[in-house]
Amino acid sequence: MATCFWLRSSGPRRLAWTFPGCRLRPHAGGPVAAWGPAPGPAPLRGYAGGLASLSAALLRTDSFVGGRWLPAAATFPVQDPASGAALGMVADCGVPEARAAVRAAYEAFCSWRGVSAKERSSLLRKWYDLMIKNKDDLARIITAESGKPLKEAQGEILYSALFLEWFSEEARRVYGDIIYTSARDKRALVLKQPVGVAAVITPWNFPSAMITRKVGAALAAGCTVVVKPAEDTPFSALALAELASQAGIPPGVYNVIPCSRKNAAEVGEVICTDPLVSKISFTGSTTTGKVLLRHAANSVKRVSMELGGLAPFIVFDSANVDQAVAGAMASKFRNAGQTCVCSNRFLVQRGIHDAFVKAFAEAIKKNLRVGNGFEEGTTQGPLINEKAVEKVEKQVNDAVCKGATVVTGGKRHQLGKNFFEPTLLSNVTQDMLCSHEETFGPLAPVIKFDTEEEAIAIANAADVGLAGYFYSQDPAQIWRVAEQLEVGMVGVNEGLISSVECPFGGVKQSGLGREGSKYGIDEYLELKYVCYGGL
């Protein structure tokens, strides 16, 4: 558990930060102690059409540390994945800025941990209210920087805001215990206390919701945070910082340090190894998660991680074909297949296989429209970058070379280099890349199976286990399969499973811990046992 004694004994509390190329105007009590409103926005740096008409207050380009907007010595470009146009230049934070952010968060923690649960709850609720008030602008920021269709972006903002609402309520439900021991003159108490500063590293595919799901829980528990957003989508994190400031979240409680891909590794290492950081929360690839775990090991930090998936989607002979196709469409093609819980492998029983593939292909052709996320009617936006397109293309080519059949799609879309056609493959086998490598794109490979046991074996033949889905009308089979799937979340006759009220997380190499739900706040709390004797 973090303690404030270390910092107090190591030097004065008043901090004077000097970032390269930047001079600060001092506040009374130093930057961290200043609880007043943040200064006005810096001039915008040439935003593309999707952002041009938005409120200037939400379009931030500097880091947000200790309640202040601070530039860095360098900047990096953020691009619209649909057009390739530059959206703006954002502060490229490095090691000095990262260390300053951690120190600001630690300073703030010394006060924030003592703020009443009711007050923390009220501030989180104000933050939620401001998100709802600004939901349209926030959604447009998501679409501009991630390419996500505007309707989906609007849905993400509501989902994101609900985490702040949920944890504003959970803040007042952090209960302890009283234990009666075998000794008559003793009582045992169990207290729950905040762990300290949390380093929060988030992905680009849900640039708002992945922040509030972590930060909402952290702040409700009494922790402070340093957020490192994905380099592709920093504007959402910075807009949330502006709204946090407007809501009255004290300086240093919520800090954002954007950085380029070039600086990402060293910034991540700094915030994960700093002795003032007590907790790491990360959503991203399993490979990166393992690197961060090694960083955390030296100082034995608390860690929660939501990592890669390879979700099976099983359709048994008893399934309702129309329901299964609707679930497959929702699970596979949301955000163009760029979600950690999207179905990666479709396992379809022989008796229903042909009917399902036919109906699935028809639904893809009828209901999916590829286009710019701002265009009316678009359901499939671009992939985040050309590297993501190359991965899908590689998997399709590999499958076809090994005998798979392209039912629909199968190639890059004519709209541009970051677009790929929604693709359905049949005659897929387990030796193909798409069967054992996470795609993160609009590719649906179908594997035919004969028995329930075979389907379970194929589904569980992975070293990850985040989500799994299956369709069946057999009650006994539903219980068997739900219990045997080696995943952290199961959708039974349902393709969309995420909800703020329910625990999100995986098993195997898909991560550690759970987010959301009543369990999510526990990731930011320590248990302390107090023995009260002499009674």
- Catalytically active residues are 306
> Any idea which residue has 């296989």 for tokens?
353
Residue 341, token pair as written in the block: 């819980």
Strand ranges, E, within 284-397 = 302-306, 311-315, 343-349
8 A C-beta contact, residue 69 and residue 62: yes
Distance CA 168, CA 247 (A): 13
* Strand 423-426 to 443-449 pairing: parallel
**DSSP letter assigned to residue 60:** -
Q: What angle do CA 398, 400, 401 make, to 5 degrees?
A: 65
Distance CA 35, CA 31 (A): 9
Distance CA 322, CA 368 (A): 16
User: Sheet containing 405-408: which strands, arranged edge to edge?
Assistant: 405-408, 423-426, 443-449, 343-349, 311-315, 467-471, 489-492
Look up residue 114 and give its amino acid: G
Give the containing element (helix H, strand E) for 208.
Answer: none
196: left (phi over 0), alpha (psi -120 to 50) or beta: left
Distance CA 68, CA 32 (A): 9
Distance CA 57, CA 68 (A): 14
8 A C-beta contact, residue 149 and residue 381: yes
Residue 171, token pair as written in the block: 């803040």
* Strand 489-492 to 467-471 pairing: parallel
* Strand 224-228 to 254-256 pairing: parallel
**Bridge partners, residue 302, by sequence:** 279
CB atoms within 10 A of CB 175: 7
